[in-house]
C-alpha cells in the first residue's frame, strides 16, 4: 500500500523583508533563494515616502512578478492614514498574502478579511498576522482560532520581537530567555489551529554565529522559519529550518517500512530496534512533501 502525500504545503524557512521604497533591493529579489519575500510598506518606509513605495510595488508586480516564492505585502494598520490605500494596492496586485501589522485581537483580522472580501480580493490572497504586541500575545489563541471563524484567509503568524521588547521593556539578551514563554504561546496557538508560525528577525546580520544559534533555537521551539532582514541570512535559515540529510533518510526509511505488505494492518512497527508509530509516518510523509516542494522550486523557477 503506497502512502498518499499530504495536501499541497508551503515551505517557509526564510521570509526576507524588503523595504518597498528600496528599488535596488527590489531588483535583487529574483536572484535570492528565499522561500518568501515580504514587501514592506510599514516600518521601513517613512510617512512621506509611502506613495512612492506603493508605486515601486506596482511597477515591480507589473514588470517582474515573483514566480518561485511567496510574495507578501506588509501594509500599514488599516486604522492609519495609509492603511486603506495599502489595502487597495493589495487588491490590485493580488500577492500571495497580506501581512497585517500589530495584530492584537481576532477582530483586527476579521476587519482585514471583511475589507478584502468587500473589495473583491480573490481567496488566493491570504492573511498573515504580525504578533508583536503584549495584547496580541495574550490573545494568541483567539487570534489563531479566527481561522475557523471570520478570518479563514489566515495562514501564518509572524513573531515581531522588536516591538514586543519595546512594549514590555524586556532587553535584548542572547538566548531570548525571558521571551521564550511568550514565543511558545504563539507557537502553541498556531499549531492548535493548523497555522504556520515564523520566528522574529535577528537585527545584526553581520553576527552569523549568533544568528545560527537563534535559528536553531527557533526550530527547536517549533517555528517553521525565520523572518529576515538581509540576504546574507537566507542560506543559514534555509539550512537550519530545512530537513537535514539524516532526517530525510529517516523519513524515507519510515515510509518504506510502512509500505511493506506486512505493515498494512499495523499501527506500530519495529525499525532497527526503534518502535515507530503511524504518527511518525505522518510526520515523515510531511517532511518528504517539504523536500519535494523545495526540489520543485529549484528545478522549476
Query: How would residue 39 be classed by pLDDT, with cut points 50, 70 and 90?
Result: very high
Angstrom distance (rounded) from CA 30 to CA 122: 25
* Pick from 3-17, 46-60, 124-138, 187-201: least confident: 3-17
* Pick from 60-64, 115-119, 254-258: least confident: 254-258
Say which residue the cell 526576507 belongs to.
16
* Pick from 51-55, 68-72, 146-150, 266-270: least confident: 266-270
Q: Tell me, what's the pLDDT at 197?
A: 98
Q: Tell me, what's the pLDDT at 298?
A: 66
Span 22-37, average pLDDT: 94
Q: How far is CA 301 from CA 60, 69, 130, 168, 210, in A?
A: 17, 9, 28, 42, 32
Angstrom distance (rounded) from CA 182 to CA 296: 35
Residue 254 has pLDDT above 90, yes or no: no
Domain coordinates in residue numbering, the chain: 14-241, 245-299
CATH number of 14-241: 3.20.20.60
* Helices and strands in the chain: count of H runs, count of E runs: 12, 10
Confirm if 234 and 215 have CB atoms less than 8 A apart. Answer: no
Please tell me whether residue 164 adopts helix, strand or coil conformation: helix
Confirm if 144 and 190 have CB atoms less than 8 A apart. Answer: yes
Query: How would residue 301 be classed by pLDDT, with cut points 50, 70 and 90?
Result: low
Residue 7 has pLDDT above 60, yes or no: no
Average pLDDT, the chain: 91
Q: Name the grid cell of 190.
A: 498556531
Q: Tell me, what's the pLDDT at 300?
A: 58
Query: How would residue 26 be classed by pLDDT, with cut points 50, 70 and 90?
Result: very high
Q: Tell me, what's the pLDDT at 5?
A: 35
Angstrom distance (rounded) from CA 151 to CA 111: 8
Angstrom distance (rounded) from CA 232 to CA 256: 37
Q: How many other C-beta atoms are found inside a 10 Å radius of the C-beta of residue 77?
A: 16
- Model confidence pLDDT, tens digit, residues 282-291: 888 888 888 8
Sort 168 into a burial class: Cβ within 10 Å, 0-12 / 13-18 / 19+.
middle
What b/e readout covers 98-118, taking b as 16+ CB neighbours within 10 angstroms?
bbbbbbbbbebbbbbbebbee
Amino acid at each position: 500500500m503506497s502512502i498518499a502525500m499530504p495536501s499541497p504545503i508551503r515551505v517557509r524557512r526564510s521570509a526576507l523583508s524588503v523595504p518597498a521604497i528600496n528599488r535596488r533591493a527590489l531588483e535583487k529579489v529574483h536572484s535570492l533563494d528565499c522561500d518568501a519575500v515580504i514587501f514592506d510598506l510599514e516600518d521601513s518606509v517613512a510617512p512621506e515616502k509611502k506613495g512612492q513605495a506603493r508605486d515601486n510595488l506596482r511597477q515591480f508586480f507589473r514588470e517582474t512578478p515573483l514566480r518561485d516564492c511567496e510574495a507578501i505585502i506588509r501594509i500599514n494598520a488599516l486604522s492609519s492614514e495609509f492603511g486603506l490605500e495599502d489595502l487597495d494596492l493589495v487588491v490590485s496586485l493580488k500577492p500571495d498574502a497580506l501581512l497585517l501589522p500589530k495584530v492584537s485581537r481576532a477582530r483586527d483580522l476579521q476587519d482585514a478579511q471583511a475589507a478584502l472580501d468587500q473589495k473583491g480580493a480573490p481567496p488566493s490572497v491570504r492573511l498573515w498576522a504580525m504578533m508583536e504586541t503584549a495584547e496580541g500575545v495574550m490573545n494568541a489563541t483567539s487570534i489563531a482560532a479566527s481561522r475557523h471563524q471570520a478570518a479563514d484567509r489566515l495562514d501564518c503568524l509572524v513573531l515581531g520581537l522588536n516591538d514586543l521588547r519595546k512594549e514590555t521593556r524586556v532587553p535584548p539578551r542572547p538566548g531570548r530567555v525571558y521571551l521564550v514563554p511568550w514565543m511558545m504561546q504563539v507557537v502553541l496557538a498556531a499549531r492548535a489551529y493548523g497555522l504556520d508560525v515564523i520566528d522574529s528577525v535577528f537585527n545584526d546580520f553581520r553576527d552569523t554565529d549568533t544568528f545560527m544559534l537563534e535559528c536553531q533555537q527557533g526550530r527547536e521551539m517549533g517555528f517553521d522559519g525565520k523572518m529576515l532582514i538581509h540576504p546574507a541570512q537566507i542560506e543559514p535559515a534555509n539550512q537550519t529550518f530545512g530537513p537535514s540529510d539524516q532526517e530525510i533518510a529517516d523519513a524515507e526509511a519510515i515510509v518504506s517500512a510502512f509500505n511493506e505488505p506486512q505493515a498494512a494492518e499495523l499501527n506500530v512497527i519495529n525499525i532497527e530496534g526503534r518502535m515507530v508509530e503511524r504518527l511518525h509516518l505522518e510526520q515523515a510523509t510531511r517532511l518528504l512533501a517539504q523536500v519535494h516542494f523545495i526540489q520543485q522550486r529549484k528545478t522549476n523557477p
